[in-house]
A and B are shown apart, each in its own frame.
Chain A
């Protein structure tokens, strides 16, 4: 596998309808540049996580849902016939809101995706373990107990383990679905700090924990409301001087 390059993403007129007929996303069009930290924010159930799941086709798991429109990663239609969805998910990797270690050791967690992709060479795997744990700022804390259970880690450590597990795949894009929910302020700061490092090598799309966090970390941001894209812009403009009344209301805490 060659060293990954950060990708750009183009979402074109995407509408997503659940089996019960509700539109989770309505005609979303959006471009995300390479090596930026892009934030999707909005009230609960506004479609942020749904959009995130569409990007690496985890949405395929939702039975009965319908999608219209297209998503391109570096010009490649991810829903096209013949796209290897497993390869796609390795290129566009997801970290979930709840820390979700798999049963097994720290090492087994990190190497899982690689092993499933067919990587067998121990030396290579070891190298990835070290490299990704360092990138996720966890190496120093766990380097002496890589074979102990991942469940023995603290909440913040677990979440950084999940990040490292995604990084081990050397993805092009990292999707972060509220990665600091349930973390204490200190752990949150650690994660946010490593994000600034990571965007040098990856495109990051994140659903933030709060508007404050969005303002702290984002290069650019998009505001979603009821499945509609209300506004997109650079961070300073979005959070200091929003164009749309609804964005302003949300940011100033008048609803949501």
Chain B
């Protein structure tokens, strides 16, 4: 075989493999939509499950996931932004900074089930919060920290260095410079990062297994110290733990979860695109 033919063959193979990788992604999404769309109606979204979860809807699980997502945002938002500012603006090139960066890389790599164990040991038992929305939110909040810190730091670093130099040269202090010349321009990027992090948190199951998720709890939680159902765990329960569960309900639940996660990604992408289009430098 000539070199040219070999070239064509291999390039063709590479394209083929890439196609093989991508097609199932599309198929998975189409398949879930196709099988799940029929189950989704007003009752499915607004009613509590009935008859051993085989009938009724997913409302408590849906709302539970919404509560947990908000809780996660409240926990991780301030801490992550502050940590990102520290890394991007204050951290010098020293041992401490290297340790902090190493910690973030490692936090990102810890398995979600280990976060679940940590949440159980620390929040549920040691701090005595019980299996509750607050314990789950804290666990998910810690889990999303590394993602949010990394994207927020990226956003802060993408603000041109010249803005900082000019601001300082006009007598502004370091914090004034960050507050007035860095954060406003980094904010859309930071928010994008937070939404992406929350999207991930909303779909997590393992960290909430022992910290908040209820197997079956048709009533809504009354306070942050109550348990709640949550969509990802609900999907696990109805697909593996409940015999004779109608398949369409399972697909419907999967579809709702997928839509929540994707719509958050979409919002994040729209913010990011908008920001790129509107900025002047």
Contact = CB atoms under 8 A, between A and B. Distances in A.
A117 B169 contact: no
Interface stretch (B46-54, B56-64, B173-181, B209-217): B173-181
Q: Say whether chain B's binding surface is mostly helix, strand, loop, or mixed.
A: helix
Contacts of A107: none
Interface string A106-130: 0000001100110000000000000
B163 A102 contact: yes
A154 interface: no
A58 interface: yes
B117 to A, nearest CB: 41
Contact of A93 (B170, B181, B184, B280): B170
B168 interface: yes
Interface in A171-219: none
19 contacts: A58-B168, A58-B169, A61-B165, A86-B171, A86-B172, A89-B170, A90-B171, A93-B171, A100-B162, A100-B165, A102-B166, A102-B181, A112-B170, A112-B180, A113-B171, A113-B172, A116-B170, A116-B171, A169-B171
Given A89-B168, A96-B166, A112-B167, A103 B173 contact: no
A157 to B, nearest CB: 15
Interface in A126-173: 149, 151, 165-166, 169
Nearest to B171: A90
A56 interface: yes
Nearest to B166: A100
A63 interface: yes
A55 to B, nearest CB: 11
Contacts of B126: none
Nearest to B162: A100
User: Which of A56, A63, A100, A165 has the largest count of B CB atoms less than 10 A from its CB?
Assistant: A100
A2 B180 CA distance: 26
B281 interface: yes
Given A63-B93, A89-B170, A116 B280 contact: no
User: Which of B163, B166, B176 has the largest count of A CB atoms less than 10 A from its CB?
Assistant: B166
Nearest to B172: A116
Contacts of B167: 102, 112, 116
Nearest to B179: A116
A12 to B, nearest CB: 24
Contacts of A169: 170-171
Contacts of B176: 116
B272 interface: no
Contacts of B165: 58, 61, 96, 100
B194 to A, nearest CB: 22
A93 B172 contact: no
A149 B279 CA distance: 11
Contact of A63 (B92, B170, B181): B92
Interface in B60-94: 92-93
A98 interface: yes
Given A100-B162, A103-B163, A94 B171 contact: no
